[in-house]
Amino acid sequence: MIKLLVVFSALFSIAAYFPYVKAILESRGTSDPVRPNRASWFVWWLIDITMVASLSVAGSFSAVPMFVAFVIGSSVVLALSVKNGEGGFTRLDLGCVTVALVGIVLWQMLGNPEAAIAASVVAALAGTLPTIRKAWRKPASEDITTWVLFAVGSGLNCIVIPESTFAAAAAPIAVFTAQMSIVVSIIAPRSWRA
């Protein structure tokens, strides 16, 4: 059952990219295009690669398939964001990228996969902030189907956390929290946005 949930987690995670890529491409030139935040996607791409490596080294394999799906999908979205994205140069964007890069450098300096996981979690959450802010201000600039699929995939991965260790639990829980934050930012009632 656990292996099946790991597979479903990865499948939901990769499936989430299809409506997002479609929405980005089909909404170009419209009044409300779906535009990925360049800083967020750059940070997530870096972190996804780091997480595959650090989780593998730490022996926490239940989240690896989900992060492999993220590496593949975030590579595509990052490439699309160059022409069809927004942001990347605000203080918040640059600060989040800096935090992500510091996290990767810390991992390399410390050589400890758990330190890499901790740094990557902090960096991933920081990298989520520009997209949360964008979704809050312009909900139509994000695709709700994508983020719900992401949240389902990471939620399934939280269910199959094999043991109560930091290495096993931190990344899936942080990813689920970040993705649900984006979902809430997209669907929040107008009265909350004042």
For residue 172, tell me if it sits in a domain. Answer: yes
Is the distance from CB of 19 to CB of 144 less than 8 angstroms?
Answer: no
Q: Which pLDDT does position 137 carry in this prediction? A: 93
Residue 102, both tokens:
């510091």
Regions in the chain scoring below 50 on pLDDT: none
For residue 110, tell me if it sits in a domain. Answer: yes
Q: Which pLDDT does position 91 carry in this prediction? A: 85
The 8-class DSSP code of residue 62 comes to G
For residue 127, tell me if it sits in a domain. Answer: yes
Residue 56, both tokens:
């593998």
Q: Which pLDDT does position 37 carry in this prediction? A: 93
- pTM score, two decimals? 0.88
Q: Percentage of the chain with pLDDT > 90?
A: 53
For residue 139, tell me if it sits in a domain. Answer: yes
Distance CA 53, CA 47 (A): 10
pLDDT digits (tens, 9 = 90+) for 17-52: 999 999 999 999 899 999 999 989 998 998 898 888
Residue 11, both tokens:
């499948």
Tell me the H-state helices in the chain: 2-15, 17-26, 38-58, 64-84, 91-110, 113-137, 144-159, 166-187
Residue type, 109: M
Q: Which pLDDT does position 194 carry in this prediction? A: 63
Distance CA 42, CA 142 (A): 16
Residues of the domain holding 117: 2-24+36-186
The residues that bridge with 86 in the sheet, in sequence order, are: 37
Phi, psi of 86 (to 5 degrees): -145, 165
For residue 163, tell me if it sits in a domain. Answer: yes
Distance CA 57, CA 89 (A): 33
Q: Which pLDDT does position 105 carry in this prediction? A: 81
Q: Which pLDDT does position 153 carry in this prediction? A: 95
For residue 147, tell me if it sits in a domain. Answer: yes
Largest Cα–Cα distance of the chain, in whole Å?
A: 48
Radius of gyration of the CA atoms of the chain, in A: 16
For residue 192, tell me if it sits in a domain. Answer: no
Structural domains counted in the chain: 1
For residue 57, tell me if it sits in a domain. Answer: yes
